[in-house]
Structure 1
Amino acid sequence: MAGSDLATNGQVTVFGGSGFLGRHVVRALARAGFRIMAGCRRPDLANYLQPLGRVGQIQPVQANVRYPQSLAAALRHAEVAVNLVGVLTETGDQSFEAVHVSGARAMAKAAREAGVRRFVQVSAIGADPQSESLYARSKALAEDAVREVYPDAVILRPSVVFGPEDDFFNRFAAMARFSPALPLVGGGHTRFQPVFVGDVADVVALAAEGGARPGTVYELGGPGIKTFREIMDYILAVTQRRRALVPVPFGAMEAPAAATETLSKLMLGLFPKTLLMTRDQLKLLAHDNVVSAEAVAEGRTLQGLGNEPRAIETVVPSYLYRYRKHGQFDRDSRLA
């Protein structure tokens, strides 16, 4: 990546630094030469981040969006702030409004008061203030909250993010281990443009260095677009499983989704995440999750930033092999 006045000794505070995307962002920022404060609710459980950089380069720190003083402490001496905090489902106090909208507003305000120069907000393709999905609406409102404080903030909207610890390919591969059939919600026609977590992390680091256009919304997708059915077929091929793919209309999924939501609440978070499908997620699945033609034409993409995205075929088999009947040592070409 190009050098900058921050690349040798600047400090970046990464909120959500211990999560799936966070650990890759921390690694990319460390390679770029930043000092990193990885903000998370339980820094005592995030020491695995430190070996991603040089001695003393990465420091997990306590940060909770509900406690402004913790945000201020995490931002001390920072010149760049990155917000990766997000939830896919609401649980208890972790609502979309509290985490995405109020959280982003609190971070941006604390960053401005701390004198932070750049703010990078990671959102999601599909963010729309008019969306029927609470998740998509909250992501759009979070962008607005950040822009109120940082009009020149860089907004990154990735499609479905894949990588070794993802909650997408791993989830359906895990389901295929024990379920004789997998549901194709809405018939499996929804289109996705999966993007590699390392590519998203590289763009975050580039934006932190000042290599992205200020005040711009970038849409990040991989090199290929696949339908939900094509993705499920691919997962079964890689894991060497033979399972029925059953098309299920969106309407028919409403009752099961409501049931799993209720069970998840009653079981206080002990309900298996693999089986959880919420009604809000159904609303998201009703719309394609791909980079817009406008973003492509205006260069607001990975390729427009000089990044050649990696395809799922080059990465996904390296971590889905463990879902085969005999794991990585399975040499039997027959489907289980």
Structure 2
Amino acid sequence: MASNMDTLVTVFGGSGFLGRHVVRALCKRDYRIRVAVRRPELAGHLQPMGKVGQIHAVQANVRYPASIEAAMRDSHVAINLVGILAEGGAQTFDAVQGQGAETVAKAAGAVGARMVHVSAIGADENSPSRYASAKAAGEKAVLSALPSATIMRPSVVFGPEDQFTNRFAALARMSPALPLIGGGVTRLQPVYVGDVATAIADAVDGKTKAGATYELGGPEVLTMREIMEIILATAERHRMLVSLPFELAKLQAMFLQFAPGALKLTPDQVILLRSDNVVSDAAKAAGLTLEGLGITPDSLEAIAPQYLWRFRAAGQFQKKSA
């Protein structure tokens, strides 16, 4: 009987936030892993997740097809995690999430490999958001090049290294008030990064339907206001939540798109917040969800205290209020 060690999985974008959790999940299942990233010298943090020689980092850039073809050589499965939240230079949404996804799919097809492509809930070719329309273009290109590919669409993903809960907790440390764009009524279904990684590993195991699109959401649908309240309660910070109309937020984003770190906000991100980001009824009915894969998702309130404690005034030594 063949073991998973006979299967080589190439993970594009494997050194990022979701990538490190996917690599860990695959290591636990004894797959051989090739991590294809732009800067392999910065992927050393992945090595302790596997056995000696189990993980190998190589250089690849989705904007350069030859590098993708080289990374896919002798591979059995391709996982594409490459994505960006904001554009910069040649790293545009279309180049990375549209054409880049197609490049990976074509390279996988050329060597007869299976593919798992990570997109996002909200991917829509008619969306006014360039991020969302590029995600939809990527899905379409992947399924055109490799009809058997599995598409994974997570809602907003949270976890120890995320740019979501950590960002707002960091803002709460420096600002007396936090903005609620559009009044904070947008509905999201935050999903734990570990659960998304498990679903992707299940797809590599062959537990998903070929050519199907899965929508991955957590156990609760929450408004942005409710999410902010959970973050503030976990970080034990008392801050005002100030409603900010969409148009004013978009105007501010014209300037904040050039800001560093937690202050960064792009006009495209404001557009994204106009739409709810939740698992569709169609996906639930078809069983194309975490629950459909037999995964019980963890909630934001259960996981966030494990890492947001560092934003408390005295960190892990903060005294509990009576």
TM-score by length of 1: 0.94
- 1:84 maps to what in 2? 81
User: Displacement of 1:50 after TM fit?
Assistant: 1.2
User: Displacement of 1:5 after TM fit?
Assistant: 5.1
**What amino acid is the match of 2:169?**
A
User: Displacement of 1:115 after TM fit?
Assistant: 2.5
- 1:182 maps to what in 2? 178
| C-alpha distance after superposition, 1:103-154 (max 9, x if no partner) | 01111111222231x1100000000011110000000000011011111110
**Does 2:112 align with 1:115?**
yes
**Does 2:153 align with 1:165?**
no
User: C-alpha distance in 2, partners of 1:33/1:332?
Assistant: 42
User: Displacement of 1:273 after TM fit?
Assistant: 2.2
Moved more, 187-196 or 66-75: 66-75
User: Displacement of 1:98 after TM fit?
Assistant: 0.6
What does 1:103-142 correspond to in 2, within 5 Å? 103-116=100-113, 118-142=114-138
- 1:195 maps to what in 2? 191
What does 1:20-31 correspond to in 2, within 5 Å? 20-31=17-28
Percent sequence identity is 56
1:303 to 282, 291, 294: 291
Contact 2:22–2:197 at 8 Å: present in 1 too?
A: yes
Q: Residues 5, 195 of structure 1: CA spacing in aligned structure 2 closer, same or farther, 3 A cutoff? A: farther
**What amino acid is the match of 1:41?**
R
User: C-alpha distance in 2, partners of 1:146/1:332?
Assistant: 50
2:38 to 34, 37, 41: 41
- 2:279 maps to what in 1? 291
1:56 to 46, 53, 57: 53
Contact 1:49–1:60 at 8 Å: present in 2 too?
A: no
Give the 4+ runs in structure 1 shifted more than 4 A. none
- 1:18 maps to what in 2? 15
| C-alpha distance after superposition, 1:163-210 (max 9, x if no partner) | 100110000000000101100000000011111101100111111111
Secondary structure of the residue aligned to 1:308 is coil
Contact 1:240–1:333 at 8 Å: present in 2 too?
A: no
Secondary structure of the residue aligned to 1:107 is helix
User: C-alpha distance in 1, partners of 2:124/2:3?
Assistant: 33
User: C-alpha distance in 2, partners of 1:6/1:37?
Assistant: 17
Q: Residues 66, 121 of structure 1: CA spacing in aligned structure 2 closer, same or farther, 3 A cutoff? A: same
Secondary structure of the residue aligned to 1:157 is strand
Q: Please list every run of 5 or more consecutive structure 1 residues that lacks an aligned counterpart in the other structure.
A: 265-270
